[in-house]
Amino acid sequence: PAGRRPLLAGNWKMHTLPGEAAELAAAVRQGLEGQALSAEVVLCPPFTSLAAAGQALAGSPIALGAQDLVWGEFGAFTGAISAPMLRELGCRYVIVGHSERRQLLGETDALIQRKLEAALAGGLTPILCVGEDAAQRREGRTAAVVLGQVAFALAGLEPGQAAQVVIAYEPVWAIGSGTPATPGDAQAVAAAIRQLVARLHGPAAAAAVRVLYGGSVKPDNIAGFMAQPDVDGALVGGASLDGAAFARLVREG
């Protein structure tokens, strides 16, 4: 919408061994063969499957993304993976601040901000995940929570950097639940995010930033989200683990 190229990203989470990743990536590739892709398509396997998936995607327009990173390049940071390591494997994207990492692994807004800056500095396009949980929604705090997360993450960026960030609005209650937000609710939050980016970094950044919806997106409901003026694509979990289904989702989107 409005000149922004749509983006459809598959988050494989902690699924696939390398052989399975190669098969899944190949199935997505095959399902999209011969299609003129209006959307950018990104697959995000776990770290240990990046190389295998990357090989299966070589020469195709489908891009590779990682699910996390930390700042720095090389050094004393046991267990961590940095932007140059991901770049070397062919990654162009990286998910930052997924709700599972916030909730299960204790990631804070401050940590996520550092990761976001590291992704940009390291030449990766970050997909920043934000979203309210069920209790926050019940309490009417959706906008406050989501905009607070976005403001924290983007506050220190230059406008040119902010324009490059992809923001995925993923209500926590909708992830893996089979109950997506309505397209209208996704649009309302996406529009509020874009207005916040305009206040923080100006109208050009706001017009350029891509806002995705995520949470129980399937081939049969993607079109409703893509029809919203401020929704520029989707971050897809469960439905990205079936290559034919994800290819169908891309074609429907």
Nearer to ligand PEP, 54 or 214 (CB): 214
User: Is 221 annotated as belonging to a binding site?
Assistant: no
Question: Do residues 228 and 187 make contact, with C-beta atoms less than 8 angstroms apart?
Answer: yes
User: Is 216 annotated as belonging to a binding site?
Assistant: yes
Q: How much of the chain is in helix, strand and coil states, percent to nearest 5?
A: 45, 15, 35
Q: Which residue is nearest to ligand PEP (CB)?
A: 237
201 is catalytic: no
Nearer to ligand PEP, 204 or 252 (CB): 252
Shortest Å distance, C-beta 212 to ligand PEP: 9
Q: Which residues, at least 6 apart from 18, have a Cβ–Cβ distance to it below 8 Å?
A: 48, 49, 51, 52
Question: Do residues 205 and 159 make contact, with C-beta atoms less than 8 angstroms apart?
Answer: yes
Nearer to ligand PEP, 25 or 225 (CB): 225
Shortest Å distance, C-beta 238 to ligand PEP: 3
Nearer to ligand PEP, 189 or 217 (CB): 217
40 is catalytic: no
Shortest Å distance, C-beta 154 to ligand PEP: 20
Question: Do residues 52 and 18 make contact, with C-beta atoms less than 8 angstroms apart?
Answer: yes
User: Is 11 annotated as belonging to a binding site?
Assistant: yes
Shortest Å distance, C-beta 122 to ligand PEP: 22
Nearer to ligand PEP, 127 or 205 (CB): 127
Shortest Å distance, C-beta 160 to ligand PEP: 27
Amino acid at 245: A
User: Is 238 annotated as belonging to a binding site?
Assistant: yes
Q: Which residue has the tokens 């749509």?
A: 6
What gap in Å lies between CA 101 and CA 130, rounded to an integer?
Answer: 11
Q: Which residues, at least 6 apart from 111, have a Cβ–Cβ distance to it below 8 Å?
A: none
User: Is 218 annotated as belonging to a binding site?
Assistant: no
From the list 100, 107, 132, 170, the catalytic residue is: 170
User: Is 115 annotated as belonging to a binding site?
Assistant: no
Q: Which residues, at least 6 apart from 36, have a Cβ–Cβ distance to it below 8 Å?
A: none
Spell out the alpha helix ranges (H) of 82-165.
83-88, 99-104, 109-121, 134-138, 142-154, 159-162
Binding site for ligand PEP (CB under 6 A): 11, 170, 175-176, 214-217, 235-239
Annotated binding site for substrate: 11-13, 176, 216, 237-238
Annotated binding site: 11-13, 176, 216, 237-238
Q: Which residues are catalytic?
A: 98, 170
